[in-house]
Every structure is written in structure tokens, then in C-alpha cells.
């Protein structure tokens, strides 16, 4: 995958959908890693920022596990996304400061209703990324990502097939995850600017 292709599509349309972002063996390794994580590692995902974050299973009921540089099995994916961050900064001068991401597990019946990942002037998230891990995913398995336009029209309905990467502007595109009919795994992340003072990243995870 040529990273410049991603840059060009985001620059032109605000989002892109790229298949085979990683080699199958890399995607497969991440899938098996997510599958084998002990249940106690996963946390119910929250809504909102920091001290205002709440758990609302009527809006979302997926589970998450944050990736860190301290875990050797996370480093390969994080290094690739660092390359992409540098490419965005070089080509589009976005001033992206860092990247954070987590594994997402949607058990059977899980969903995430319509939402924005950032509101203009109120978040440091600039670009959202979603990388899908499940092999042999069919339409009947559900869990599609639906991306909406500014008039509420459906722009894309994205099947979460292994190796597919979606990148979009965090404050522009309302989106949702439809109900999954079997365990669905992905990596969701955000490229961020440093919107803080005194060199402290705002907001922290």
C-alpha cells in the first residue's frame, strides 16, 4: 500500500477506504492476538471526554483495549501508523502531534449509534482510522460502518473485511456501526494535534 494514495483520497474527499493496507499475515496476526486477549483486558467503551465520560450501552456496547508502545506486539502496527502520520504532515501540513488507538471488540448484538468523533474547536482529534481484522466477513454478519454526508445522506456502507482501512476527518463525518451478528474485531485510532498549553497533550486518552 502506497501511503500517498491515502493522503490524496483524504485531501480530495475527506475520507478514504483502502483494501489490503497490511499484508495478510500481519492482519491475521493482529486478529488472532485480539481473539486471544483475556476477557479482563477488555473494558466497556465510554462516551464523552475525560471526567465527563460515561458508559451508555444504549448508544454503544463495544469493548476496547488500548494499544501502547510498551507492549511489543503492538509496536509493528503503531510504527506503520507513525509513518502515515509523518506522511500526512509532510503532504498536507496538518501538524499531527501523535496517534492513539485501541482494539475494538463488538460481540454479537453490539453496535455504536450515529456520532461524531470530534466537534470543531472542542477536540484535538483530526483524523479517525479504522482497520478491520476479521477474515471471511459477509454482509449477513452485520457490523458495517455507515458514513453520512452533511445532509444525512449515506456516503458509504463499509463491510468490515480483514485488511481494509478507513480514514476520515473526525469532525466532519457522522458515522455509526450497525449491529454485529458475530464477534467483530478492529483497531480504531485517531491522529491528533496538540491543542494544549505547556506542551501537555489535550485531551489525554
The side-by-side arrangement of strands in the sheet containing 43-44 is: 15-18, 165-169, 125-132, 184-192, 98-106, 63-66, 43-44
In the prediction, which pLDDT does 48 show?
47
Q: At residue 55, does pLDDT exceed 50?
A: no
The partner residues of 191 in beta bridges, in order of sequence, read 99, 127
| pLDDT per residue as tens digits for the range 137-185 | 999 999 999 999 999 999 999 999 999 999 999 999 999 999 999 999 9
- Read off the pLDDT band of 188 (50, 70, 90): very high
| pLDDT per residue as tens digits for the range 22-44 | 999 999 999 999 999 999 999 98
| pLDDT per residue as tens digits for the range 106-130 | 999 999 999 999 877 667 899 999 9
Those residues with Cβ within 8 angstroms of residue 76's Cβ, 6 or more apart along the chain or in another chain: 26
pTM: 0.90
Amino acid at each position: 500500500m502506497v501511503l500517498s494514495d491515502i493522503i490524496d483520497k483524504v485531501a480530495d474527499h475527506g475520507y478514504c477506504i483502502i483494501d489490503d493496507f497490511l499484508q495478510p499475515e500481519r492482519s491475521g496476526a493482529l486478529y488472532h492476538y485480539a481473539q486471544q486477549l483475556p476477557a479482563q483486558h477488555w473494558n466497556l467503551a465510554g462516551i464523552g471526554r475525560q471526567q465527563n465520560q460515561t458508559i451508555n450501552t444504549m448508544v454503544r456496547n463495544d469493548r476496547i483495549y488500548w494499544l501502547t508502545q510498551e507492549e511489543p506486539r503492538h509496536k509493528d502496527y503503531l510504527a506503520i501508523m507513525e509513518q502515515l502520520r509523518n506522511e500526512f504532515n509532510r503532504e498536507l501540513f496538518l501538524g499531527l502531534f501523535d496517534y492513539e488507538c485501541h482494539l475494538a471488540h463488538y460481540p454479537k448484538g453490539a453496535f455504536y449509534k450515529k456520532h461524531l468523533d470530534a466537534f470543531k474547536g472542542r477536540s484535538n482529534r483530526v483524523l479517525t482510522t479504522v482497520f478491520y481484522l476479521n477474515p471471511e466477513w459477509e454482509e449477513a454478519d452485520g457490523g458495517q460502518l455507515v458514513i453520512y454526508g452533511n445532509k444525512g445522506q449515506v456516503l458509504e456502507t463499509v463491510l468490515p473485511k480483514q485488511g481494509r482501512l478507513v480514514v476520515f476527518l473526525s469532525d466532519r463525518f457522522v458515522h455509526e456501526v450497525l449491529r454485529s451478528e458475530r464477534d467483530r474485531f478492529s483497531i480504531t485510532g485517531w491522529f491528533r494535534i496538540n491543542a494544549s498549553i505547556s506542551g501537555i497533550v489535550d485531551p489525554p486518552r
